[in-house]
Amino acid sequence: MQITRSSLDTAKGPADWFTGDVYIDAVAAPAGSSTFAAANVHFTPGARTAWHTHPHGQTIYVTEGVGLCQREGGPAQAIHPGDRVFFEPGENHWHGAAPNRLMVHIAMHQNDDSGSPVAWGRHVTDEEYAAAPRTGG
């Protein structure tokens, strides 16, 4: 058995990537030949990512609260604890908390050959966010 003690502080999500207050805790980082990374991401009510893509796709697993997610050109969807969302490689999307609820998810993805897991785009506008469903399913 191997236990790796947590030695990294919680990081505040950068304003270039997020709207609102988002906090990130590393879960797994690429090591050796692995390109896999995972993070526990905490979104305060109304907080959300900017539009973005992942070269190898991304899975998010909701652990707490109520969230929202949307792929470009599709309807926004409410997500709840236990829901898993897979975004296809290169699929432009965003995800975050509902306006009145916290949301926590584990984000899992792989880095590309240059070591990057994500390509960030523009921020989700308030109008785009307001058009998303509230807390329904």
Q: Residue 39: which of 104, 84, 116, 112 has the closest Cα?
A: 104
d(CA 128, CA 8): 34
Fold held by 11-129: Jelly Rolls (2.60.120)
Between 19 and 6, name the one with better pLDDT. 19
pLDDT in tens, 39-80: 999 999 999 999 999 999 999 999 999 999 999 999 999 999
**pTM for the whole structure:** 0.91
Work out the pLDDT band at 127, boundaries 50, 70, 90: very high
pLDDT in tens, 69-116: 999 999 999 999 999 999 999 999 999 999 999 999 999 999 998 888
Q: Rounded mean pLDDT of 22-42?
A: 92
With tokens 């109008």, the residue in question is 127
Query: Collapsing DSSP states into helix, strand and coil, what is residue 130?
Result: helix
